[in-house]
């Protein structure tokens, strides 16, 4: 995810340096280093883009590299603001939860600012994340955990729904490629229409394509006539939210 976001971030005015002992090359204009000791100078922002279990061992080495008035921006899922701040010598921390479509500039990210984060720091973090898509700023980490459940993990749900939809289309006799085209194009167009017509509720959009006694009505009755889909989605988000709380 760090690499995916960097491809969006590097369109801005900042200069970036990566520390990664395994990476073979960096995007154009970005310097690559094998170890923190190779870094020259200090930085206005330190981006925490490592696995959460590495934070306590790795990040203290970077505390002295953060400029006075700088902050840390963390995309380390499951690592709290307090934990990251402690590892960086009580630095101000903006915690971000992005999702996979950020890699193509279509992401949805939650942002929460920890203690000591100035408005200018938060504004800079939001502007960076807006280069990768839509941003929602929240006031507390519990809300960020909820964003994790809805948007951070959301692409997984969408991919699984699309997979089942494609499998059902194949069951009607379409080839895999035909089913994929039909399903993904239908989903893409439907979502684009809903986004373009935000003044209209999703229920209204659904009703606009549903004739009484017609094919869509029959399909919807099988899909959610008993309310099972509503219950499954509620259980899905609650399970992801509780897991996000446990990880923090």
Which CATH number characterizes residue 98's domain? 3.40.50.720
Provide the terminal-to-terminal Cα distance of the chain, rounded to the nearest Å: 19
Please give the pLDDT value at position 248. Answer: 74
pLDDT score of 198 more than 80: yes
Q: Are residues 110 and 55 in the same domain?
A: yes
Of 138, 173, 202, the residue that ends a domain is 138
DSSP string for residues in the chain = -HHHHHHHHTTSS---EEE-SS-----TT-EEESSGGG--S-EEEEEE-S-GGGHHHHGGGGGGGEEEEEEEEE--TT--HHHHHHHTTS--EEEEE--GGGGGT-EEEEEEE-TT--HHHHHHHHHHHHTTEEEEEESSHHHHHHHIIIIISHHHHHHHHHHHHHHHHHHTT--HHHHHHHHHHHHHHHHHHHHHTTTS-HHHHHHHT--TTSHHHHHHHHHHTTSHHHHHHHHHHHHHHHHHHHH-
pLDDT higher at 206 or 29: 206
Please give the pLDDT value at position 247. Answer: 81
pLDDT score of 224 more than 90: yes
Please give the pLDDT value at position 13. Answer: 92
Which CATH number characterizes residue 202's domain? 1.10.3730.10
Please give the pLDDT value at position 18. Answer: 94
How many structural domains is the chain composed of?
2
The answer to whether 133 touches 147, Cβ cutoff 8 Å, is no
Please give the pLDDT value at position 99. Answer: 95
Does residue 148 belong to any structural domain of this protein?
A: no
Q: Tell me which residue of 11, 16, 19, 23 sits closest to 43, measured CA to CA.
A: 16
Q: Are residues 113 and 217 in the same domain?
A: no
pLDDT score of 131 more than 80: yes
What range does the domain containing 239 cover? 154-247
Task: Give the Cα-Cα-Cα angle 192, 193, 199 (nearest 5 degrees).
Answer: 120
Does residue 143 belong to any structural domain of this protein?
A: no
pLDDT score of 102 more than 90: yes
Does residue 177 belong to any structural domain of this protein?
A: yes
pLDDT score of 122 more than 90: yes
Q: Are residues 131 and 168 in the same domain?
A: no
Q: Are residues 7 and 120 in the same domain?
A: yes
Q: Are residues 96 and 213 in the same domain?
A: no
Judged by average pLDDT, the poorest of 25-29, 53-57, 62-66 is 25-29
Q: Are residues 100 and 187 in the same domain?
A: no
* β-strand pairing of 17-19 with 31-33: parallel
Does residue 71 belong to any structural domain of this protein?
A: yes
Average predicted confidence (pLDDT) for the chain: 95
pTM reported for the whole predicted model: 0.90
| Confidence band for 215, pLDDT divided at 50, 70 and 90 | very high
pLDDT score of 246 more than 90: no
Please give the pLDDT value at position 40. Answer: 86
* β-strand pairing of 107-113 with 93-97: antiparallel
- Give 148-175 as a 3 state SS string: HHHHHCHHHHHHHHHHHHHHHHHHCCCC
Please give the pLDDT value at position 17. Answer: 94
Of 138, 169, 194, the residue that ends a domain is 138
Handedness of CA 156, 8, 44, 15 (dihedral sign): positive
Q: Tell me which residue of 72, 81, 79, 73 sits closest to 5, measured CA to CA.
A: 73
Q: What percent of the chain has pLDDT over 70?
A: 100
Q: Are residues 61 and 164 in the same domain?
A: no
Does residue 145 belong to any structural domain of this protein?
A: no
pLDDT score of 27 more than 90: no
Does residue 34 belong to any structural domain of this protein?
A: yes
């Amino acid at each position: 995810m760090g690499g995916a976001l960097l491809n969006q971030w590097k369109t801005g005015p900042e200069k970036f340096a990566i520390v990664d002992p395994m990476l073979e090359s960096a995007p154009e204009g970005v310097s690559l280093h094998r170890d923190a000791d190779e870094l020259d100078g200090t930085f206005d922002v330190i981006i925490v883009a490592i696995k959460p279990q590495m934070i306590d061992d790795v990040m203290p080495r970077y505390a002295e590299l953060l400029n006075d008035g700088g902050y840390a921006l963390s995309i380390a899922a499951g690592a709290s603001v307090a934990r990251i701040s402690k590892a960086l010598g009580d630095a101000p921390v903006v915690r971000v939860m992005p999702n996979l479509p950020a890699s193509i500039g279509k992401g949805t990210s939650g942002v929460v600012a920890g203690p000591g984060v100035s408005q200018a720091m938060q504004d800079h973090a939001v502007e960076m994340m807006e280069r990768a898509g839509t941003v929602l700023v929240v006031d507390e980490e519990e809300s960020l955990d909820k964003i994790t459940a809805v948007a951070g993990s959301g692409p997984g749900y969408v991919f699984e729904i699309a997979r089942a939809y494609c499998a059902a289309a194949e069951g009607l006799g379409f080839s895999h490629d035909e089913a994929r085209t039909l399903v993904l194009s239908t989903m893409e167009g439907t979502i684009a229409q809903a986004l373009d017509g935000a003044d209209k509720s999703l229920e209204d959009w659904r009703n606009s394509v549903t004739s009484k006694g017609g094919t869509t009505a029959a399909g919807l009755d099988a899909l959610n006539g008993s309310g099972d889909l509503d219950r499954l989605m509620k259980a899905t988000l609650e399970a992801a939210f509780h897991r996000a709380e446990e990880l923090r």
